[in-house]
Chain A
Amino acid sequence: MALLEIRNLHVEIDGKPILRGVDLTVNAGEVHAIMGPNGSGKSTLAYVLAGKADYTPTEGEVLFNGKNIFEMQPDERAAAGLFLAFQYPLEIPGVATMTFLRTALNAQRKKRGEAEFSTPEFLKKVRNLAGELGIDPAMLRRAVNVGFSGGEKKRNEVLQMALLEPRLAVLDETDSGLDIDALKIVADGVNRLKSPNNAFVVITHYQRLLNYIVPDVVHVLSKGRIVKTGGKELALELEARGYVEYQEEVPA
């Protein structure tokens, strides 16, 4: 059984069709890249998988581990192993990063019937991961993402991902706003997590990130549909030739 099965997915926002028949199958152990021009529906796909309100599926289905995700609340999807690294991580004044991380981790474990982490276990785990990702421990004492630079916010997303150990992680333009060193750190974080049991969907506008997170499959999303699927060489092709031909290929 595929880990993620998207069949003929149509999604509207405020009555406006954004996704117009997306099909995508992701198996455990795979890394998929979704590329495409601005406005093609990449972020919509990410949000609808995570369960954002106002993103209304009108047709088709999405099965995660064989379960219809539209019957699950965002927190239930997360506990089932779905993770979205946000393109624009939010600042939450007044909520300490550690409280946030612990609440999230223990809520997921509780829902899965697993024992909650003890405080020392939890602290050790977070500190180790933060060290690997080059995150200053002082940042962990601040409120979630408050006063973080763009790059720090993205690294914090990867820290959350590493801590929560999802089955499927969707990275929505995690590379945007990162310098090359930060990009490598983020990519290393993803590569360390890769296993035969999990999968990644890497949404990006540029090929650059894919030098470090090497995809098994590359899809081109344009005007709400996947218009081309290929191997990792497709990303290089896109980098060289741009998205122009795909924008023209698809009738509106």
Chain B
Amino acid sequence: MNAEVTAIKTAAETTLAQEFAQARGRLPGDKAVAAQRAAAFDVFAQEGLPHRRVEDWKYTDLRVLMRDAKPLAAPPDARSKAIAKTAGALVGDVETRRLVFVDGAFVPELSDIAALEPGLSIGSLAGAMAGGDPSLATHLGKLAPASDVAVALNTALMGDGAVIRVAAGATTKRPIHLLFVASEKPAATFTRSLLVVEKGARAMLIESHEGPEGTDYQVNAAVEIFVGDEAHVDHVKLIGEGPDALHVSTLAAAIGEHARFNTFTFTAGGAVVRNQLFLKFDGEETVAGVRGATLLKGRQHADTTLVANHVARGCQSREMFKTVLDDEAHGVFQGRIIVQQGAQKTDAKMMTQGLLLSERAEMDHKPELEIFADDVQCGHGATTGALDDELKFYLMARGIPAAEAEALLIQAFLGEAIEGIEHAGLREALMDQVAAWLARRG
């Protein structure tokens, strides 16, 4: 272990250290994984929880927002599993292949792992670790940035997750749905999933996160996606956590050449949400859509932090993030597009927009472009504003009551991002979620 461990200060930091010390012997994985965990924990031990003086976490100070750390979740009992049976409403009636995780642990009896399409293999992370799956050594932790403390904690404490492989040329018939459900126990879960989509294959991965009211559980979920050359991958993350939950999640993806990759994050739940995306354009001529819609009310805090790293030439990326904020909610978008020297002919456009429904809501945008190539088309835009009174008047002058007029305009605002989802059923499911949110707003 590292001898230069700095003083651990907050209660949460102390608890995390204790949890790691107690759990490290029983967490899954061989010696190599254990070494990976230890190295990751060292990053946390050195840095502590990220705080506002760490630029990437400027607006989401976990030392303040994370009052305590919860104990690692126990394996789910029958009662917890029963709760999960009614979960999954976020995807509406979209037919998926569902893999259920309760309190961070894979529950095969609730999951649909029979009759897999040719070329598709699915397992749990704990199972893969126990079985010495060789793909872990080549893929696990290769994309998620080891220096990020949230990722480091995830690597140190990862208990379970999904390990999915789609062989070259294969196509999944239904979206694969990782359904993460928290039971009512105030516990912490650390899940890590891997999706490897080989050359020319096609897959859609939905991850949804939900949990009960009245429990301040904590979720740290990371997904690493390898998008092979000429592959087509859609990823959708639905954050519908309970209102008191702390949710930190990371998507790290590397995208091959001539591929299509779309990712969408929908955030409506959770007390504190940090949604991180680390995308690396490794192959030429790839097209990517990176979008998100966030709906916040009360005192919710949600931070989306994106790094899109263009390494290869000729890739196109479109980033669009929309945030609706009511009451005293706080929204954050940090987006950085990096264009490396070799990434000539990059075409990247990033837009982030906040819609404030209350004078006390706050939106912070931090768009950044770092360009080291000289023949590129890059742009970014950031706006924050209230609903357009002129448009509202026009709608009302046609007989539409104020609340309904506002709802139409809010749906239109978010719709521009949601339209980017290729799966029609999921688009509808999300517009239904938006309508439900608006109906609750009254």
From known contacts A75-B402, A90-B390, A90-B391, infer whether A100 and B397 are also in contact, taking CB-CB under 8 Å. no
A52 located at the interface, meaning its Cβ lies under 8 Å from any Cβ of chain B in the complex:
yes
B4 located at the interface, meaning its Cβ lies under 8 Å from any Cβ of chain A in the complex:
no
Contact with B along A33-59 (1 / 0, CB 8 A): 000000000000000001111000000
B393 located at the interface, meaning its Cβ lies under 8 Å from any Cβ of chain A in the complex:
yes
> Nearest CB to that of B412 among chain A residues?
A94
Contact call B397/A84, Cβ cutoff below 8 A: yes
Which A7-56 residues sit within 8 Å CB-CB of chain B? 50-53
Contact call B408/A51, Cβ cutoff below 8 A: no
* Docked complex Cα distance between A89 and B397 (Å): 11
Contact with B along A57-87 (1 / 0, CB 8 A): 0000000000000000111011100011010
Q: Smallest distance from the beta carbon of A132 to chain B beta carbons, Å?
A: 20
From known contacts A78-B397, A100-B395, infer whether A94 and B402 are also in contact, taking CB-CB under 8 Å. no
B127 located at the interface, meaning its Cβ lies under 8 Å from any Cβ of chain A in the complex:
no
Contact call A50/B399, Cβ cutoff below 8 A: no
Contact call A75/B399, Cβ cutoff below 8 A: yes
Given the complex, which residues of B lie within 8 Å of A50, measured CB to CB? 393, 397
Contact call B398/A164, Cβ cutoff below 8 A: yes
**Residue picked from B391, B401, B416, most chain A C-beta under 10 Å:** B401
Contact call B415/A78, Cβ cutoff below 8 A: no
From known contacts A51-B397, A94-B411, infer whether A103 and B404 are also in contact, taking CB-CB under 8 Å. yes
A95 located at the interface, meaning its Cβ lies under 8 Å from any Cβ of chain B in the complex:
yes
Contact call B415/A94, Cβ cutoff below 8 A: yes
Given the complex, which residues of B lie within 8 Å of A222, measured CB to CB? none
B409 located at the interface, meaning its Cβ lies under 8 Å from any Cβ of chain A in the complex:
yes
Given the complex, which residues of A lie within 8 Å of B372, measured CB to CB? none
A111 located at the interface, meaning its Cβ lies under 8 Å from any Cβ of chain B in the complex:
yes
A174 located at the interface, meaning its Cβ lies under 8 Å from any Cβ of chain B in the complex:
no
B130 located at the interface, meaning its Cβ lies under 8 Å from any Cβ of chain A in the complex:
no
B109 located at the interface, meaning its Cβ lies under 8 Å from any Cβ of chain A in the complex:
no
Selected from A52, A94, A105, A164, the residue in CB contact (under 8 A) with B416 is A94
Contact with A along B379-405 (1 / 0, CB 8 A): 000000000011101111111111011
From known contacts A74-B393, A107-B404, infer whether A160 and B398 are also in contact, taking CB-CB under 8 Å. yes
Contact call B411/A74, Cβ cutoff below 8 A: no
B413 located at the interface, meaning its Cβ lies under 8 Å from any Cβ of chain A in the complex:
yes
Contact call A78/B394, Cβ cutoff below 8 A: no
Contact call B397/A74, Cβ cutoff below 8 A: yes
A99 located at the interface, meaning its Cβ lies under 8 Å from any Cβ of chain B in the complex:
yes
* Docked complex Cα distance between A122 and B114 (Å): 46
* Docked complex Cα distance between A52 and B394 (Å): 9
Q: Smallest distance from the beta carbon of A141 to chain B beta carbons, Å?
A: 14
Selected from A74, A94, A111, A143, the residue in CB contact (under 8 A) with B396 is A74
Selected from B399, B408, B409, the residue in CB contact (under 8 A) with A78 is B399
* Docked complex Cα distance between A52 and B399 (Å): 13
Contact call B415/A107, Cβ cutoff below 8 A: no
From known contacts A92-B391, A93-B412, infer whether A78 and B404 are also in contact, taking CB-CB under 8 Å. no
Q: Smallest distance from the beta carbon of B301 to chain A beta carbons, Å?
A: 27
From known contacts A92-B409, A107-B404, infer whether A51 and B396 are also in contact, taking CB-CB under 8 Å. yes
* Docked complex Cα distance between A8 and B398 (Å): 27
* Docked complex Cα distance between A105 and B400 (Å): 8
Contact call A104/B400, Cβ cutoff below 8 A: yes
Contact call A104/B416, Cβ cutoff below 8 A: no
A108 located at the interface, meaning its Cβ lies under 8 Å from any Cβ of chain B in the complex:
yes
Given the complex, which residues of B lie within 8 Å of A78, measured CB to CB? 396-399
Contact call B396/A100, Cβ cutoff below 8 A: no
* Docked complex Cα distance between A248 and B320 (Å): 56
Contact call A99/B396, Cβ cutoff below 8 A: no
Given the complex, which residues of B lie within 8 Å of A103, measured CB to CB? 400, 404, 408
Closest 5 CB pairs of A and B: A94-B412, A78-B399, A108-B399, A104-B398, A74-B396
| Extra 9 A-B pairs, beta carbons < 8 Å, given A94-B413, A104-B398, A108-B399 | A74-B393, A74-B396, A75-B399, A75-B400, A78-B399, A86-B394, A103-B400, A107-B400, A160-B398
16 A-B residue contacts at CB 8 Å?
A: A50-B393, A73-B401, A73-B402, A75-B396, A75-B398, A83-B397, A90-B390, A92-B394, A94-B411, A94-B413, A95-B409, A103-B404, A104-B398, A107-B401, A108-B399, A164-B399
Interface, chain B (partner A; CB < 8 A):
389-391, 393-402, 404-405, 408-409, 411-413, 415-416
